[in-house]
A and B are shown apart, each in its own frame.
Chain A
Amino acid sequence: GQQVMQIPQYQHVQEGEDFTTYCNSSTTLSNIQWYKQRPGGHPVFLIQLVKSGEVKKQKRLTFQFGEAKKNSSLHITATQTTDVGTYFCAGRNNNDMRFGAGTRLTVKP
């Protein structure tokens, strides 16, 4: 079945540094979604990417979908303490929605 791998598992940065998490699927995806889960909270939808090579931005967050639609990345520029949490990618294909293990981001003020 479909597998989604995400790296790194943990990332600790100084406030103001950049952060990137990568997501790779074993199969071609129809789309990929990104979610954020704050400590003690539940996952909240951030964005969906559908087209090959698509790039979307939300303020300091940049999301990319690979040309082969099998990988994706989330990049945060100049992290802030409010960015703390776990970022999950979710690959969707054939009614399936499988999450990566997530990257847990901590930010030191």
Chain B
Amino acid sequence: NAGVMQNPRHLVRRRGQEARLRCSPMKGHSHVYWYRQLPEEGLKFMVYLQKENIIDESGMPKERFSAEFPKEGPSILRIQQVVRGDSAAYFCASSPTAIWAEAFFGQGTRLTVV
């Protein structure tokens, strides 16, 4: 059973471009969380999704950021018109159930905006 897969591991974008970050949860996991981590800082909650539904997006900026978790395929975190301040590590985590199970993290995508 492969772990949570995130790709790409590293992504470089110029200001104004779009960044697409993908997360394939572990097999059988239908709960996905996205977090942003700035250098030397903690994990900031962005969005929580279940298959085809956004459950909680209270941590995600209202503009330029969107997330989806389609019926088929990976969860996607999309950042439009990236700015330097978007440079960070973006982690996704998946769990099989709501609150009673541990979350498994992917290796993260390190986004650098130049």
A residues contacting B by CB (< 8 A) are 1, 6, 30-31, 33, 35, 41-45, 48, 50, 86, 88, 90, 92-102, 104
By size class, the interface of chain B is 20 to 34
**CB of B57, distance to nearest CB on chain A (Å):** 12
Where the two chains meet, the residues of B that have a C-beta atom closer than 8 Å to any C-beta of A are: 31, 33, 35, 40-45, 48, 55-56, 58, 91, 93, 98-100, 102-108
Q: A88-B43, A98-B45, A101-B42 are in contact. Are A43 and B99 (CB under 8 A)?
A: no
Q: Please determine whether A99 and B43 come into contact, CB atoms closer than 8 angstroms.
A: yes
- Which residues of chain A come closer than 8 Å to B108, judged between CB atoms? 42
Q: Is the CB of B103 within 8 A of A31?
A: no
CA distance A6 to B41 in the complex (A): 12
14 chain-A/chain-B pairs, Cβ below 8 angstroms: A6-B42, A35-B105, A42-B106, A44-B105, A50-B100, A88-B43, A95-B56, A96-B48, A97-B33, A97-B99, A99-B42, A99-B45, A100-B42, A102-B43
